[in-house]
Structure 1
Amino acid sequence: MSLFALLGALEQGLVYGIMVLGVYLTFRILDFPDLTVDGSLPLGAAVSAVAITHGMNPYLSLVLAMGAGFVAGMITGLLNTKLKILHLLASILTMTALYSINIRIMDGPNVSLLGVDTVLDTMMGLGLPGYYASPVLFAIFAAVVGVAIVWFLYTELGQTMLATGDNIQMITSQGVDTDKVIIYGVGLSNALVALSGALIAQNQGAADVNMGVGTIVAGLASVIVGETVFGCRSIPRAVFAAIAGSVVYRVAIALALGLKVGSFSFTPSDLNLITAVLVVLALTMPKLKKRFARC
């Protein structure tokens, strides 16, 4: 793998790592399977791109994107808790609706950001070349978000969220309104996913309505790979594992796509197949370790 390919995988791993943290909150903390992320990632991209093209500061557009993602997540939570729709179906309904909403926001299937200022211009203004500016900036964003999540999970609300995902009957018996916890938790998760989408759009120079396809699969794969490789015995370690898992996942994808055996080689269309194989390996690796340890 070349240096540029490695930097590209690192860049992708870090920026998508913010999305993985959002998936971690619903998947591991709340025990809430949420497919809204496939719609909230392009939602964040669409909101940020449209805001920037209308003259808004690119950093302020990130806040606006997070707000939109939070609302999308809250809608999924409301459908589940108040209308008693199964969480999986509730998230699918929101994701489906977001496809049309994103097209409405962009007034079309995509929006170009060529020729406008983005968050990357700040780093490049410091003299860093483009291929170093993106990884450095996204590393800063991922680190800040990761520290914020660790802090949040040690607060009273964060601990309540952990208890809700661990044993909802027990925490309900303590007088906690678990409906609000789920609504806020899913909202926060999708706010992070939307932030990731906004950063991806600014990095790629465009927002597209289809850029969220497969987001949940990549997110779950990164969480599982991270937990398998780095462990999750404490909250800080689990948060680090989620971000690191995203990087490992993207590097593994880059290595697989660059693999050639004779006349055979992988193509971008094989991405879902590679992801499925990685998830299977990550899930079976702990069992294999135990089995070999007994021998």
Structure 2
Amino acid sequence: MSFVSSYINLVPVTFAQSLIYSFLVLGIMIPFRLISFPDLTSEGAFPLGGCVCAALILAGYNPILATLVAVAAGGLAGASTAIIHLRFGINSLLAGILVFTGLYSINLRILGKSNAALFNADNIFNMIHPGIVTTVWMQILVFGVLVVALLLALRWFLTTQAGAALRVVGVNPDLAPSLGINLWTYTIVGLALANAMTALGGALIVQLQGYADVGMGLGVLINGLASLVIGETIVGRHTVTRQLLAPVLGAAVYYQLVSLGLSIGLQPSDLKLATAIFVLVTLALPSATGKRFQTREKMRA
């Protein structure tokens, strides 16, 4: 019974966390799925958003302004990855690695040290209601509203001409120029948008937890991919609406699985390995199943 009660107590806490991390998962989904650009910048954009926001708040700036600047910094990081890839012909994965590696040093410069506490500093949540930081159900309400607003905004954008052009770049980049679509423009915009959302997640989590750390992005990419895979397995990705819902639903399910793992006695340090194995199995299973099916068909023939 202790296992059940422990899990039940963790459910609302991890659900609130999953809503914040939905921004990160959406930021991972856009380059991977919409523009077919495997991007690793989120590993650096997430702490970048947190460090920029924390540094500005500690310097006495308004938390709303600090959050907006953090979002802009994340967008600049994503645009840098796109430009490195397009201008110098560097592989997209390597371009992302170069950017998030460099961002580690930049984050240290911005924050001035490896971590900083914001417990006594103002934050965007206290401006809305002082009880948000300490009340899980209020966090769920606020973050839920933010996620729904973002989903509606993205849904609207992807139905516009610019959004359709962005998706064309991902489906067939060779066809895009013949349709008058500038490949450079939409690739840069897509990665900037994705990493701006990732940085927003970092800025919000820093203000909620009350501290910033330059290493807070370690492993967020694999967590985000696991959430994305789970969401796409549940709802699919055949329509724009499903593509947008998959990251949010996947993040919710993934963090409930994390709660389950912690409840049965897994150490927090074991969760990264468990996540990596889960993603590997999930991605490899369809391929293995398909090969077995083809082998059976050949044997029957």
| 1:1-295 correspondence to structure 2 within 5 Å | 1-125=6-130, 130-259=135-264, 265-283=265-283
CA offsets 1:120-173 (integer angstroms, 9 cap, x no match): 224544789522222222112211111111111111111111010111011122
Count of matched residue pairs: 288
Q: Is the 8 A contact 2:133 2:139 kept in 1?
A: no
CA–CA separation in structure 1 for the residues paired with 2:28 and 2:251: 11
Q: CA RMSD in A?
A: 2.2
Deviation at 1:50, TM superposition (A): 1.1
Letter in 2 for 1:65: A
Deviation at 1:255, TM superposition (A): 0.4
CA–CA separation in structure 1 for the residues paired with 2:13 and 2:255: 9
CA–CA separation in structure 1 for the residues paired with 2:113 and 2:133: 34
Q: Is the 8 A contact 1:120 1:133 kept in 2?
A: no
TM-score (norm 2): 0.89
Distance 1:176 1:128, change over 3 A: closer
Q: Is the 8 A contact 2:230 2:250 kept in 1?
A: yes
| 3-state SS of 1:207 partner | strand
CA–CA separation in structure 1 for the residues paired with 2:247 and 2:7: 25
Counting aligned pairs with the same residue, the percent is 37
CA–CA separation in structure 2 for the residues paired with 1:226 and 1:288: 21
* Unpaired runs of at least 5, structure 1: 260-264
| 3-state SS of 1:55 partner | coil
TM-score (norm 1): 0.91
Larger Rg: 2
CA offsets 1:82-141 (integer angstroms, 9 cap, x no match): 111111111100001100000000011112111112122245447895222222221122
Letter in 2 for 1:54: A
Q: Is the 8 A contact 1:25 1:189 kept in 2?
A: yes
